[in-house]
Structure 1
Amino acid sequence: MTAGSSRIAFAQALRGLAAVSVLLSHYTQHFWTNRTTAGALVGAPIWDGPSPGVLALHLALPPGFAGHFGVAVFFLISGFVVPLSLIGRGRAGFALGRVLRIWPTYAAGLLVTMAAVWACARHFGNPVPFGIGQWLAHLLFVQDVLGLPTIDGISWTLAIEVRFYLLCLLIAPAIRAGAVRPLLVAGLVLAGLSAVAAAIPWPPGGQAAREELALSAQMITFMLVGTVFAAFHRGTAGGAACLGTGAALLGLFALQWAGGIMGWQTVPGLTAYGCALALFGGLFAIRHRIRRVPAPLDALARISYPLYVVHAVAGYAVMHLLLEAGAPAWAAILATTALALAAATLLHLLVEVPTQRAGHLVSRGEP
């Protein structure tokens, strides 16, 4: 991160922190507290050995805090930086740039996950827990609305990300102008559509689609808070307008959470998202003084997307195999983390960097 980009260096630092938070939530909490799910995802028997001592740290926090916190930070960063990438680009250039930014890396990471799951399931003599239909649905980011089981454990957030891109395309003029009132209108429409969808009858099998689309509306409302920060950062909207719009969006977000499929997690979820927002807002307030990101955090930030894509279920497969081979829990966690970092680095260098460069070129209309 150079001094020339210091005004958004805080977002780069947060990427690294978010990546670590999500990875730790999976490797040091969810794998051990949701053992049935972890085994089913990788075609392995339920691990019945002792849990690592680090699990006690998670139990001292609100349920699922680390995972919620990391995802919330990623959503705020996307809400902040993605609209900025619309400036100076047409809709077609923006869309193509976004496709090249996320799809090739995701597709490659999904193949890594599928290979790890295949190896794990075959090792234990069990069938591979996914088929070609699930794979294709994941590649199109529609697996959630089709009610299909997840392959990688993280694709639901990327499906929401893609839908946020579509909203950005829809309200592109307002985003380029840096106006915040249209963002509130968008939040109201999203909340209204969720309420209407909940009130009308759906055909058999359509309940999953309704719930997942409502979840997307809920999280996109939260992402729009990041877009409000972007408008203030650009100086296109005043502090009072941004504060009022942001508060209203947060209220809509909380209402959607309480009434949605994650309603049972309302208090711990909103606590984690509130902490993420407080950290984001605090660093945003001193963004002009944040000149550089510490090297380790910057390195994590650079590989944060491929790490996010590849770490979860592939990591579960690796940990099952290591534990079955006799490795203690702490060693399995460390070894799996090292392998995830190595795989993410390779994906970053071999896939993400070249396709991201191509995305910058084509989205700017350069030869």
Structure 2
Amino acid sequence: MTDTLRPAAPRVPGPTGTTREAASRGPADRPPTPADRPRLYALDGLRLLAAVGVMLYHFTARWSQVWGDDPGAVFPETGPVLIYAALGPEQFFVISGFVILMTAWGRDVPHVVASRVARLFPSYWLAVIATSTLLLFLWPAGKDISVGEALVNLTMLQELFGVRHVDGVYWTLYAELRFYLLIGLLVAWGITRRRLLWVAALWPALGLVAVEAGITPLAALAIDGYAPFFAGGMMLYLIFREGHARAPWLILAGNVVLGVDHAVTWQMTSLTANTIFTPDPWVLGALTVGCFATVAAIALTPLKRFGGAWLVPAGALTYPLYLIHEYWGWWFIDLTAAHLGRWAVLAGAVTLSVLLAIGIHQVEKRVGPLLRRRLEAALRRAPEAGRPAARHAQSA
């Protein structure tokens, strides 16, 4: 959900015929080769499709008071279908597993940390400020929040501190942060094929055991049951990068099973509580498999050549649209639902959300690169600054 779909020249893309021994070596063990993988433009489109689905689910199916009636009663034709768009975050997580590993492989910790912070925070800060302003001053009836809660939300760690999200959609960002931490640790350790296989096989399974057992710290590290989606995306990138092999496919299949079990159980409870509709568990299961299958189709079939540069802006708008749409869209609906037809109101809420997302992106694309360069430079200077002191301590 939160990145470009092609790294700047991955340093060691293994050919399809890479042997097991060569593939298990780290990036430093092989000479850099030119990037030979195409940009997967269709992933940009898939990300936007998932974000739009989440937005329409929030506006037309998920419970709120803004329509003057339950949204499902206002949109009885589309609600039974759009409830399944609640699986958008699961789709984001699979894409993140694929893309973030792709951008991190062959890089060092300062680059990975700086690129993640610069990609994640500028749009997020703008969205928190905008939505907090809306709820504090323009539409306090939308949600009762405090200035203190808004300030804590700027850290993106509000869940860790037991503080409410200003906007409920922010929960996915805490999940993403924990995955980024794992990737950072892998980069520091050294990313190799063998290590990725062990991590993707053990991490989700142990995490789900911790979730079931109620071991909160371990469950948090396992991203509260969502680890199979990230791990499955990682295995899909490994197959894309190194070629087909039995081990990554088996580990991918295991993560699909774990992901389906978690998603169906959770979404049956959530959708039944938050909508007037009862989802079909078989449809939920099939669509959860589809979260993995769509990324596999884009990466591993001729669909990898689908699309073009025209899809890049779609991918760029996904993150700000996801962050900003919920309360600003609901506010517009609350203002206009009594005066306009339902489809005109819905179109207006979607249009407002898109315009706000465009505005956030215009700021982010200017601030993000500057933040990345300065943070990466600072992280690279930090070890150098510490070395004289370390040498002095040793000599003393």
TM over 0.5: yes
Match of 1:47 in 2: 68
- Cα separation, partners in 2 of 1:238 and 1:285, compared to 1, 3 Å: closer
Match of 1:314 in 2: 328
State whether residues 225 and 250 of structure 1, in contact with CA within 8 Å, keep that contact through their aligned partners in structure 2. Answer: yes
Equivalences for 1:19-30 in 2 at 5 Å? Answer: 19-30=51-62
State whether residues 134 and 149 of structure 1, in contact with CA within 8 Å, keep that contact through their aligned partners in structure 2. Answer: yes
- Normalised by the length of structure 1, the TM-score is 0.78
Among 49, 54, 57, the residue aligned to 2:78: 57
C-alpha distance in 1 between matches for 2:160 and 2:177: 13
Q: Where in structure 2 are there 5+ consecutive unaligned residues?
A: 7-34, 271-279, 382-396
Equivalences for 1:135-146 in 2 at 5 Å? Answer: 135-146=150-161
Letter in 1 for 2:253: A
State whether residues 232 and 292 of structure 2, in contact with CA within 8 Å, keep that contact through their aligned partners in structure 1. Answer: no
- Cα separation, partners in 2 of 1:161 and 1:341, compared to 1, 3 Å: same
Letter in 2 for 1:132: V
1:158 aligns with 2:158: no
Letter in 2 for 1:155: Y
C-alpha distance in 1 between matches for 2:264 and 2:142: 38
CA RMSD of aligned residues (A): 3.4
- Cα separation, partners in 2 of 1:241 and 1:250, compared to 1, 3 Å: same
Aligned length: 336
CA shift at 1:145, angstroms?
Answer: 4.5
C-alpha distance in 1 between matches for 2:138 and 2:220: 32
Per-residue CA deviations over 1:107-165 (Å, capped at 9, x if unaligned) read 1011111222335435xxx5961013322332223333445443212100011001110
State whether residues 333 and 346 of structure 2, in contact with CA within 8 Å, keep that contact through their aligned partners in structure 1. Answer: yes
State whether residues 323 and 329 of structure 1, in contact with CA within 8 Å, keep that contact through their aligned partners in structure 2. Answer: yes
Q: Where in structure 1 are there 5+ consecutive unaligned residues?
A: 40-45, 199-208
Give the secondary structure class of the aligned counterpart of 1:273: helix
State whether residues 117 and 317 of structure 1, in contact with CA within 8 Å, keep that contact through their aligned partners in structure 2. Answer: no
State whether residues 7 and 287 of structure 1, in contact with CA within 8 Å, keep that contact through their aligned partners in structure 2. Answer: no
Per-residue CA deviations over 1:70-91 (Å, capped at 9, x if unaligned) read 2222111111011122123222
Deviates more, 1:311-320 or 1:270-279: 270-279
C-alpha distance in 1 between matches for 2:173 and 2:90: 13
Per-residue CA deviations over 1:151-197 (Å, capped at 9, x if unaligned) read 21210001100111011122336773233232212223322332343
C-alpha distance in 2 between matches for 1:353 and 1:328: 38
C-alpha distance in 2 between matches for 1:51 and 1:232: 41
State whether residues 174 and 182 of structure 1, in contact with CA within 8 Å, keep that contact through their aligned partners in structure 2. Answer: no
CA shift at 1:215, angstroms?
Answer: 8.0
Match of 2:229 in 1: 222
CA shift at 1:312, angstroms?
Answer: 1.1
Letter in 1 for 2:128: L
CA shift at 1:262, angstroms?
Answer: 5.3
Match of 1:243 in 2: 249
Match of 1:333 in 2: 346
Give the secondary structure class of the aligned counterpart of 1:244: helix
Give the secondary structure class of the aligned counterpart of 1:176: coil
Match of 1:233 in 2: 240
Give the secondary structure class of the aligned counterpart of 1:48: coil
C-alpha distance in 1 between matches for 2:142 and 2:96: 37
Per-residue CA deviations over 1:257-316 (Å, capped at 9, x if unaligned) read 577x65635936444322222222222222565153373x54322211111111112211
1:301 aligns with 2:315: yes
Give the secondary structure class of the aligned counterpart of 2:340: coil
C-alpha distance in 2 between matches for 1:127 and 1:18: 25
Letter in 2 for 1:189: L
- Cα separation, partners in 2 of 1:263 and 1:333, compared to 1, 3 Å: closer
State whether residues 57 and 83 of structure 2, in contact with CA within 8 Å, keep that contact through their aligned partners in structure 1. Answer: yes
- Normalised by the length of structure 2, the TM-score is 0.73
CA shift at 1:355, angstroms?
Answer: 0.6
- Cα separation, partners in 2 of 1:212 and 1:241, compared to 1, 3 Å: closer
1:80 aligns with 2:98: yes
Letter in 1 for 2:56: L
C-alpha distance in 2 between matches for 1:360 and 1:133: 31
1:197 aligns with 2:226: no
Give the secondary structure class of the aligned counterpart of 2:173: helix
State whether residues 109 and 309 of structure 1, in contact with CA within 8 Å, keep that contact through their aligned partners in structure 2. Answer: yes
C-alpha distance in 2 between matches for 1:302 and 1:103: 14
Match of 1:201 in 2: none
C-alpha distance in 2 between matches for 1:269 and 1:141: 29
Q: Which has the higher contact order (CA 8 A, sep 6+)?
A: 1
CA shift at 1:336, angstroms?
Answer: 1.4
C-alpha distance in 1 between matches for 2:180 and 2:144: 31
Q: Give % identity.
A: 20
C-alpha distance in 2 between matches for 1:50 and 1:29: 5
Match of 1:359 in 2: 372
- Cα separation, partners in 2 of 1:11 and 1:316, compared to 1, 3 Å: same
- Cα separation, partners in 2 of 1:315 and 1:35, compared to 1, 3 Å: same
Match of 1:43 in 2: none
C-alpha distance in 1 between matches for 2:204 and 2:351: 40
CA shift at 1:244, angstroms?
Answer: 0.5
State whether residues 97 and 359 of structure 1, in contact with CA within 8 Å, keep that contact through their aligned partners in structure 2. Answer: yes
State whether residues 260 and 288 of structure 2, in contact with CA within 8 Å, keep that contact through their aligned partners in structure 1. Answer: no
C-alpha distance in 2 between matches for 1:335 and 1:127: 18
- Cα separation, partners in 2 of 1:354 and 1:88, compared to 1, 3 Å: farther
C-alpha distance in 1 between matches for 2:376 and 2:185: 17
CA shift at 1:102, angstroms?
Answer: 0.6
Match of 1:213 in 2: 220
